[in-house]
Structure 1
Amino acid sequence: MMLTEETAVPVEALPVEPFKDHLRLGTGFGESGLQDGLLESFLRAAILAVEARTGKALIARNFTLRIGAWRGRAAQPLYIAPVQTLNGVTTIEADGTEHAEALSRFRLEPDAQRPVLAAVGTTLPTIPSGGAVRLSFRAGFAESWEGLPADLAQAVLLLAAHYYEYRHETALGEGCMPFGVTALIERYRVVRLFGGGEG
């Protein structure tokens, strides 16, 4: 299974000016734009970290999920939420030949934690022996920063500020996340039941 981000968060969707206000940068420094690239990199890192912890896409963009076998005969979890639209389903032969499946054979079952691609009918199409299937879809809470839930937006700003403040610190362990951020994102974290089995 491989989940791939096909399009990055666009620069215009990054809250650079709100981030400057959050950091309380001096007017001369904050308005110069000299560090906009650096601030954008911290925002991107914070967005990706929050997404990794929650299993949620914040700013909407395109993803693909490539799998070698269906998780269930009639439905396949998509491993990221919320999914907005299904863009394509492609079966791939062992030799790399691709076949586009009719989207009318599928339906999306929205879920706050784990949306599902379900068959219209009894079963999903057969994946060729030695081959795979590629699912293309668009996922995210909003097209712009202003559309995000307030707690997730605040969590990103807090985490990006943490990265900014400790940008020269080399002793911080991997996965370090301030308590305020974890508290804000806790309700969005995926609850795993049944040991990850089908159900």
Structure 2
Amino acid sequence: MMLIEETAPAAEALPVAALRDHLRLGTGFGIAEDPAETAALAGFLRAAIATIEARTGKVLLVRRFRMQLDDWRDRLGQSLPLAPVLSVEGIEIDDGEGRVTQLPESSWRLVPDSQRPMILPRGVILPHVPRRGFVTLRFTAGFGASWGDVPADLAQAVLMLAARYYEDRSYEGSRAAMPFGVSALIEKWRAVRTLAGRGGRELR
């Protein structure tokens, strides 16, 4: 399986001001914001968001993704590795020899489950993928386009983790370690992860 993030969270959606308040950094009274500091805070937030998303399988801010599989894991239904999925823009099958078939929306449907979204066939099974071919799915996932759309516990976990990264600028000793408070906040969002591609074929 290959999962590619085609868009990144918009810079204006990052809660830089909230992180600055959380860290009690000086503002107001004519104190100008330092662009270098703002860029650094945004970087810590992006790192924290990526970590929380990797641990939970939940996409905090809306982005577009592309997933490529050697074959369906199960032709009765294909699970998606991220949630919540808002829409599926298209599914296509490449036969490995340059011929690409776009699957009509009448042949499949999205089940937008909060833990394990799935693509289900409208008929009996999903279409056959040639042995040398692959299937590509393009979809949009995320809780919303603004930080206010992110669930409060996940938003707080991001601020706490970003603050940890800020306080340990080298990341040494803290990059791999997840603070207990952050782990507690994200625990209910964690789901058992399964392969998104069929186990019998080699993953790309």
Q: Distance in 2 between matches of 1:61 and 1:53?
A: 17
Q: Distance in 2 between matches of 1:84 and 1:108?
A: 9
Q: 1:139 aligns with which of 138, 141, 160?
A: 141
Please give the per-residue CA displacement for 1:31-80, whole angstroms capped at 9, x wherever unaligned: 33331111111100000000000011110110111101111112000011
Match of 1:96 in 2: 98
Q: Distance in 2 between matches of 1:174 and 1:36?
A: 21
Deviates more, 1:45-54 or 1:124-133: 124-133
Equivalent pair of 2:96/2:130 in contact (CA under 8 Å): yes
Please give the per-residue CA displacement for 1:92-120, whole angstroms capped at 9, x wherever unaligned: 12123322111221111122211111101
Q: Distance in 1 between matches of 2:99 and 2:175?
A: 40
Q: Which amino acid aligns with 1:85?
A: S
Work out the percentage of aligned pairs sharing the same amino acid. Answer: 49
Match of 2:10 in 1: 10
Equivalent pair of 1:20/1:30 in contact (CA under 8 Å): no
Match of 1:185 in 2: 186
Q: Which amino acid aligns with 2:83?
A: A
Residue ranges of structure 1 left out of the alignment (5+ in a row): none
TM-score normalised over the length of structure 2: 0.89
Over the residues paired in the alignment, what is the CA RMSD in angstroms?
Answer: 2.0
Q: Distance in 1 between matches of 2:24 and 2:165?
A: 15
TM-score normalised over the length of structure 1: 0.91
Q: How many residues align?
A: 195
Q: 2:112 aligns with which of 91, 110, 113?
A: 110
Q: 1:192 to 1:135 in 2, by over 3 A?
A: closer
Q: Distance in 1 between matches of 2:51 and 2:32?
A: 25
Q: 2:46 aligns with which of 40, 44, 47?
A: 44
Q: Distance in 1 between matches of 2:171 and 2:15?
A: 24
From the two aligned structures, give the one with the greater helix fraction.
Answer: 1
Deviates more, 1:79-88 or 1:27-36: 27-36
Q: Distance in 2 between matches of 1:38 and 1:66?
A: 33
Structure 1 residue ranges (4+ consecutive) displaced by more than 3 angstroms after TM superposition: none
